[in-house]
Amino acid sequence: MSDPRALVIGEALVDVVEHADGRREEHPGGSPANVALGLARLGRAVDLLTWLAPDDYGTRVTSHLEESGVHVITGDRFPVATPVAMARLDERGQASYEFDLTWDLPAAWPGDDVPPLVVHTGSIATTLTPGGPAVLREVTARRATSTVTYDPNARPALMGTPEQALPVVDAFVAVADVVKASEDDLVWLHPAEEPDDVAARWAQSGPAVVVVTHGEHGAFAATAGGARLQVPAVPVTVADTVGAGDSFMSGLIDGLWAEGLLGAENREALRAIDEDTLRRVLDRCIRIAAITVSRAGANPPRRAELDAVLSPEG
């Protein structure tokens, strides 16, 4: 029997980062691609179904992902040019984004011999047409065999108004078992509600676990069973925040994987997750995100780095 794998569906691109002091850097990125990268560096087998051109940027992104163990699937169609995101950093290292991209799913791609244990998607891939509706159909069909995880990772420059984005977000929340959103995502989508209250409401609408990241203030989680849990951040010197939420998301998937809570057959066990288990998973996610923000670009830790931090001597 094949080892269990994750399937990540979504965009891979190049982040062109402009620093407040005028420096310019280029890093492979894209929220789903970053999640796939984080999972691979944590030792998980992972496939990334994405939309890349056979150009210099596309070759660079593919090589970057494959070097960490991600299996990149691009199918039989591709864009005219590999997508690009312009990330402008302020004096605190906070990023704002502009985009030059299209998104679609390949018309044909190899199916799974064995269904993935978990299917993750989010961000641009779920909202841009024509690819977004195809992604929703794909993850909905895969609920029968796989845990579904979702991160809206809102990009207002591409998603229109909150009123336009909400039906798409709500549709993915409805089919997801685990949702991770940032405080900024939820403030934008639901400005009249507290982000943690939105998460608690979502957790009563279908998902087993909903997590809100609050940056330097840690994270909040709500469960289908009614638990509400706050987890503090750890002190860290921030280089930039690019990829922080994505590395948290990969840590969340990896942590639930380690606890034996992924796969459709474990859906009820995931819905019944206890607070001690969830806190253990989230504490680890916080550590993963802290390592990521301590260095430039979307550069999540490898398992050995994380183990060193988590060891009593670390």
270-294 confidence digits (pLDDT tens): 999 999 999 999 999 999 999 988 8
Give the per-residue pLDDT at 108.
66
Which pLDDT score, from 0 to 100, does residue 114 have?
87
Amino acid at 179: V
Q: Using the structure block, give the residue that is written with the tokens 């890093």.
A: 27
pLDDT for res 1:
43
Domains of the chain, CATH where assigned:
5-310 (3.40.1190.20)
Name which of 21-25, 112-116, 154-158, 240-244 the model is least confident about: 240-244
- Give every CB contact of residue 22 below 8 A, 6+ residues apart in sequence: none
pLDDT tens-digit map of 106-160: 766 777 788 999 999 999 999 999 999 999 999 999 999 999 999 999 988 888 8
The phi, psi pair for 73, rounded to 5°, reads: -115, 120
pLDDT greater than 90 at residue 249:
yes
Q: Quote the CA–CA distance of 50 and 41 in Å, as a whole number.
A: 19
206 with 173: CB under 8 angstroms? yes
- Which among 82, 122, 79 has a CA at the least distance from the CA of 253? 122
* Share of residues in the chain with pLDDT > 70 (%): 96
Give me the pLDDT at residue 309, please: 82
Residues in the chain: 314
What are the C-alpha distances in Å from 169 to residues 21, 122, 125, 196?
A: 36, 9, 12, 16
Digit-coded pLDDT (tens) for 219-235: 999 999 999 999 999 98
| pLDDT of res. 314 | 47
Structure confidence at residue 298 (pLDDT): 77
Average pLDDT (71-96) is: 84
